[in-house]
Amino acid sequence: MEVERIRLDDWSWVDVVRAFVPDPDTAFHELLEQVNWRRGEIYRFDHARAQNYSGGFVRNAAVHPVLLTTHKALRAQYGHEMAGPTLVHYRDGREAMGVHRDTDMRWLDETLIGILTLGTQRPFVLRHKISRDGDPVINVNPAGGDLLVMGGRAQADWLHGVPPAPSVTGARISAQWRWTSRTGRPQTGAGSGAPRRYGHGR
């Protein structure tokens, strides 16, 4: 596959494969019908609220040919057996995912996160975790059928997310695979989805 590498810095990168899936519309509609989509909860401050997207559970990549093909391609390209896929469904541009790091992986010094996008094209942005106003934001802007892989220290030093796009009316599905080398100092504290409690003194 033809890979375009975007260097975020000396230790972090994003690989992009455009048009990785030859018939992305068919795969999108089949997964939309076959997967059991569920809207979970995230915690903010002292309360839970519904996620701004739906998640989908599949037993393994073999449930659909496009997922199995992607799984095998990632293993062949990067030499690691990656966990996944997990699926996310955005019904339209109002549904989004804020910028974050996948801290629940704990070991972030060397990771791989592969994301296959299907459906409507949406921004996918990255910015440094200590960026300031005016610092550049990188938008990979994947279309349906594109595959991107974040690697190196991308989870340690960079944030990524799918911002709101109110003008977008179509839906999007993303499938994600992850791997960590389990080297370096592990991340401490709760993951990004855990409750945050302020002012309780404990």
Please give the chain's pLDDT, 202 residues, in tens.
899 999 999 999 999 999 999 999 999 999 999 999 998 766 655 666 678 899 999 999 999 999 999 999 999 999 999 999 999 999 999 999 999 999 999 999 999 999 999 999 999 999 999 987 778 899 999 999 999 999 999 999 999 999 999 999 999 999 999 999 999 999 987 555 544 333 333 3
Residue 170 domain-assigned?
yes
Q: What CATH code is carried by the domain that includes residue 123? A: 2.60.120.590
Residue 149 domain-assigned?
yes
Enumerate the β-bridge partners of residue 152.
Answer: 12, 111
Residue 43 domain-assigned?
no
**Which residues span the domain enclosing 94?**
4-36+51-180
Residue 32 domain-assigned?
yes
Q: Give the number of domains in the chain.
A: 1
Residue 189 domain-assigned?
no
Residue 186 domain-assigned?
no
Residue 188 domain-assigned?
no
